[in-house]
Amino acid sequence: MFSIASINIGTPQEVIYAEGRKLKTSLQRHPVKEKVFLDLMGFEGDHVADPVNHGGRDKAVCGYPAQHYSIWEEELSRNMLPASFGENLTINGLTEDRIHIGDIFKIGEAEVQCTQPRQPCHKLIKIFEFPKLASRIQTLGYCGYYFRVLKQGWMQTGMTLERIHSDEEKISVLDAHYLMYRDKTKYDAIENLVAHPALSESWKRSLSQRLANRKA
């Protein structure tokens, strides 16, 4: 059974990192215990700092498996709590190898569909002051994932995620992640992923360009 360990909400804030440098980000989200309404663009009260690369219909909700935090505590030598990676949903049990592009889940009143892996964010690297974070995420596959919202509604921490549609292509988030970062020349698999109707438009563009470059 998969469940919501934490729903996390944030707004753009100015963060001070290495040597007094400033960074505007919504990554420092905070858990909320009360019911929160999820609309087509994300949670009510939650806003992204960089709408070009975050948010939108294809990336309305970011999820991250709670199980990974014990590993990151060792890697980063710090205490890792829900929302430490800036995710909207900290999720028990739903690791990247157990969720597929196109899978649909019911959470409370809402329904969401997995659209892509989460890509390593340069802002996380700066906040944690850990230059190897992106490469470690790429190697481990502990990336998290994005959802689009198919049905709006209320949800709350502690609710279960009911998988109401298991995508027949069975392309896991972990598979997709490795096609982007490790298995870059598995062109047949990449073509299959690009053709998937549930894949986000941004990933379709990026991977389609890779296929075009191969043929050029």
Nearest to 103 by CA among 43, 16, 168: 168
| Cα 154 to Cα 62: distance, rounded to the nearest angstrom | 16
Give DSSP secondary structure letters for 196-211. -TTS-HHHHHHHHHHH
What's the whole-model pTM score? 0.95
Separation between Cα atoms, residue 20 and residue 14, nearest integer Å: 11
Angle at Cα 85 formed by Cα 57 and Cα 108, nearest 5°? 50
* For the chain, domain boundaries: 2-215
Pick from 85, 203, 63: nearest CA to 147: 63
Question: In a structure prediction context, what are the per-residue pLDDT tens digits for the chain, which is 216 residues long?
Answer: 899 999 999 988 887 776 677 778 878 899 999 999 999 999 999 988 777 677 799 999 999 999 999 999 999 999 999 999 999 999 999 999 999 999 999 999 999 999 999 998 888 888 888 999 999 999 999 999 999 999 999 999 999 999 999 999 999 999 999 999 999 999 999 999 999 999 999 999 999 999 999 866
Q: Is the domain defined by 2-215 classed in CATH 3.40.50.300?
A: no
- Position 23 scores a pLDDT of 75
Give residue 157's identity as a one-letter amino acid code.
Answer: T
What pLDDT does residue 49 have? Answer: 73
